[in-house]
Amino acid sequence: MKLVVIGATGRTGSEIVAEASGRGHDVDGIARSEDTIEDVRVHTSDALPDLLEDADAVIDFTVPSATREYAELVAEAGVPYVVGTTGFNEQGIDALREASESTAVLKASNFAKGVQALMRVVEAGVEALPEYDIELTETHHNGKRDAPSGTANTVLDVIDQARDEELDRTHGREGEHLREESEVGVHVRRAGNVRGEHEVMLAGNDEVLTLTHRAESRRVFAAGAVDAAEWLADKEPGWYDFADAL
């Protein structure tokens, strides 16, 4: 399969290049400056239109502003598009939705299979414990830009769906404030090179249930993103998520 990885020099993009090459795919990278990673050529964005002519899929792990620009080009070329970038605002999501009218778009805030399982377990836990307080804590490396993480926001959406109400997302706490029943606490830590950890705590009735996922390396995201691209390559235009691919 011919794959283009946008953000190929990044922490995650370089793992994706290694994973895809290791599986025997023909890979080209795009970044802001030319480079070579694992014998794969990394070009600047000027090369993208030519590369799209015979690409089977594109994987993008960059920043929201870059993804918005690339989405238009990828959609015009009708190449299936796997998006791992997180931190989009509403307009960014709208731009991807628009792209999905012309090509297959699979956007996921987390390409670890364990996180997909975490979502299901969180849903079951929240439904089983309707009166319990819920607090979410996520930890990532000190180079992560967006907070809370895309995964944390997805987990919070799952909690809202399971509770059948929009809980008030209370980001950290300071000063005098009693916890309201309608709150879900959201706590963000940025330190060292932690790959990504998400913990949901449900507490009540003299007991605490904690559900935790920890990524041990970025290879887990790379493997999931390449799995998604292999699956998406022959799909019709539309909006897909990682659970569809699994």
5, 57, 75, 85: residue in contact with ligand NAP (rule CB under 6 A): 85
Cis link prior to 148 (omega < 30° from 0)? Answer: yes
Closest CA to 201 of 114, 150, 137: 137
**Binding range to ligand NAP, per CB under 6 A, among 58-66, 130-138, 154-162, 171-179:** 58-66
Binding to ligand NAP by residue 217, rule CB under 6 A?
no
Q: Answer yes or no: 140 catalytic.
A: yes
Binding to ligand NAP by residue 148, rule CB under 6 A?
no
Binding to ligand NAP by residue 116, rule CB under 6 A?
no
**Binding range to ligand NAP, per CB under 6 A, among 57-65, 126-134, 166-174, 226-234:** 57-65
Binding to ligand NAP by residue 139, rule CB under 6 A?
no
Binding to ligand NAP by residue 7, rule CB under 6 A?
yes
Binding to ligand NAP by residue 109, rule CB under 6 A?
yes
* Active site residue ranges: 140, 144
Binding site for ligand NAP (CB under 6 A): 6-7, 9-13, 30-33, 45, 61-63, 66, 84-87, 108-111, 146, 221
